[in-house]
Structure 1
Amino acid sequence: MKKNVLITGTSTGVGFESAILFAKNNYKVYATMRNLKKGVELEKRIAEENLDIEILPLDVTKITSIESALKTIIDKDGRIDILYNNAGAGFAKTTEQSTEDEIRWVTDVNYLGVVFCTQAVLPYMRKQKSGQIITITSVGGLVGQPFNELYCGAKFAVEGFMEGLATYVSDAFNIKISCVEPGGISTEFMTSAIGKTAVEGQFATGEYLPIFERYMAGNQKRANESKDQVYQTGLEVANVVLEVAQNENPPLRIRTSKWAEEFCNLKTQADPDGSKIVQQLKDSFL
């Protein structure tokens, strides 16, 4: 019997590539997106390649939308095997100059959306005594970066949430938890980070502007010097996620490239895959 997988944020980038890749590897894919009008390209690929993919509306910031999509899956299949939390959005702007709406938005999309989707699937996975929750986080969930502190804060929160969850649902209910941590990705995610945060053409003003200009110049220099090492395609990241899904004993944490591994080394060298800290927490509290 095919395992089914619910993937959030599949209109472009990693989510789009993942939906196709999982379908080609014998999964029943429920590809979800906030705006179904953005599903044209995916619909085209489904028809061309006869893929077992069903597109559903799902806005990760709205609990009713999450519950509706999940009800469709349960009504059809009677179970949910994999939740793949992919939906997210970049944000680069100073904390001081960010609006209340922007701060709530970056938190809702990148953190609370993951929490609410996870909360929705847990009762079903608990009852069936099996399941897997895979979440795209970021190297920014391990290492804070200039002008990305609000985004990194949300991703740090996801990492802590999943680490805590893994300490008790894995053994008790056979629910496997994994965080997949990419570095730079050459997808619309990068474009959205700029488009969403640019205000009158700027991310920073006043005394912050010269610091931001140095930051942007450094980014451009690194990109020019080592683009192949820093930036991955959506498909390259999707392949890592597929490997995690197919792993009988998946890691809590996994970076998706050599660059990402090196970037996070100071934070991860003592416990690269997160298994040691999870065991320590179990020994301490359970």
Structure 2
Amino acid sequence: MRAVLVTGCSSGIGLETALAFARRGDRVHACVRNPAGAGELLRRAHAENLTLDVPRLDVTDDASVTAAVAAVQDRHGPVDVLVNNAGIDVTGPVETLPLDRARDLVETNFWGPLRMARAVLPGMRARGSGVVVNVSSLAGRTFAVPHGGFYAASKAALGALSEALHAEVQPFGIRVVCLEPGSFASAIQRRSAAPQPSASDPYAADHAWLARFLARVAEGAADCSEAAGAVVAAADDPGTPLHTVVGKDAEEALQLLTGLSHEQWLPRFLEHAESLAGPRPHRP
């Protein structure tokens, strides 16, 4: 029985991952930023007679992270598996997206996992074992799409951090895996857009076009239980590659990118996006 700590469990991949570990009999700490949003998680756990803790944890707050991890360690000792799943998405142009929104995104998607890793690693090192699973995104491995630059940058940074961390903690018996899911039917897709730009914003029409494209992509998103299965498998299998894509669409996307420069890729992306969302307002 392992002590498993999962962040961002109120919905989507985090919720499914917490339930998947609980079904195996692990001691699951399914962390949520707002306890009021844990209703679905608790309802499903009760329906399956699963036992899990639901502590409040805000990955953007140092004190919250320290307190939550200390509480877990006081009860069960060092964390065996950390799943850094909490994340947000904000779409918008590099020039005009409000900087406070961009900072919130990076604070959650990059600094959050770093805070969590730093909090659990001393206990893992002392015991000589542990697994850190960082849930990144295909966006961190592919070329960034228009209006998706900040999200892609945060996930690419998480991938780079995972590489360095992997090399640093491997001698202590600790594994690091960076999972890169494609499109899954999670709440992050439903709350990704920044406030609609004003009519005077030079990117307003492009922003609306991209929103239509993303909505069409979301229609074909896979079930989050598939991604949860990949998280559990990564925690179990020492042979899991550091960078592991999750989902058929992610695998296909990487294959299509092989050997392409950004200049070769962009026209193909625009053609695909226009097939789903109509002509781009300001196509080059």
Q: TM-score range by the shorter chain?
A: 0.7 to 0.9
Q: 1:203 & 1:242 partners in 2: Cα distance? A: 44
Superposed counterparts of 1:188-227, under 5 Å:
188-194=187-193, 197=194, 199=195, 201-202=196-197, 206-219=201-214, 227=220
Alpha-carbon distance, 1:217 to partner: 4.6
- Report the equivalent of 1:41: 40
How far has the Cα of 1:223 moved from its partner?
A: 5.8
Structure 1 counterpart of 2:74: 75
CA deviations on 1:13-72 (whole Å, 9 max, x unpaired) are 111111111100221100001101111222222333221211101000011111111111
Distance 1:167 1:57, change over 3 A: same
Distance in 1 (alpha carbons) for counterparts of 2:217 and 2:35: 36
How far has the Cα of 1:146 moved from its partner?
1.3
Distance in structure 2 (CA, Å) of the matches to 1:169 and 1:185: 30
Q: Which residue of 1 aligns with 2:156?
A: 156
C-alpha contact (below 8 Å) 2:129/2:173 kept by paired residues: yes
Structure 1 residues 202 and 121, CA, compared in 2 at 3 Å: closer, same or farther?
same
Match of 2:250 in 1: 260
Secondary structure of the structure 1 residue equivalent to 2:53 = strand
Q: Which AA in structure 2 matches 1:164?
A: A
Cα separation, partners in 2 of 1:38 and 1:215, compared to 1, 3 Å: closer
- Alignment CA distance shift 1:133-1:217 (3 Å): same
What is the alpha-carbon distance in structure 2 between the residues aligned to residue 22 and residue 203 of structure 1? 45
CA deviations over 1:118-157 (Å, ceiling 9, x no partner): 1111111111100000011001111222101011111111
Q: CA RMSD in A?
A: 2.0
Give 1:77 deviation, angstroms.
0.9
User: Which stretch shows the higher mean deviation, 114-123 or 44-53?
Assistant: 44-53
- SS where residue 88 of structure 1 aligns? coil
1:50-199 correspondence runs (5 A) = 50-143=49-142, 144-170=144-170, 172-194=171-193, 197=194, 199=195
Please list every run of 5 or more consecutive structure 1 residues that lacks an aligned counterpart in the other structure. Answer: 270-286
Change (3 A) 1:111 1:255: same
User: Could you say if the C-alpha distance between residues 202 and 235 of structure 1 is closer, same or farther in structure 2, counting changes exceeding 3 Å?
Assistant: farther
State the shift of 1:263 in Å: 1.4
**What SS does structure 2 have at the residue aligned with 1:84?**
strand
Match of 1:274 in 2: none
SS of 1:51's partner is coil
Q: Which amino acid aligns with 1:30?
A: H
Aligned-partner Cα distance in 1 for 2:148–2:79: 34
Distance 1:121 1:264, change over 3 A: same
Q: Aligned residue for 2:263?
A: none
Q: Could you list the per-position Cα deviations for residues 89-135 of structure 1 after superposition, in whole angstroms to 9, with x for gaps in the alignment?
A: 11100121122211210110111001110111111111110000001
Q: 2 CA distance for matches of 1:268 and 1:90?
A: 26
| Kept after mapping to 2: 8 A contact 1:33/1:59 | yes
Change (3 A) 1:203 1:255: farther
Structure 2 unpaired stretches of 5+: 260-284
CA 1:221–1:116: 2 relative to 1, 3 Å: closer
**Selected match of 1:248 from 238, 257, 263:** 238
**Using the alignment, how far apart are the partners of 1:132 and 1:79 within structure 2?**
11
How far the C-alpha of 1:243 sits from its partner, in A, is 1.1
The 8 Å contact of residues 4 and 80 in structure 2, kept in 1 or not, is answered as yes
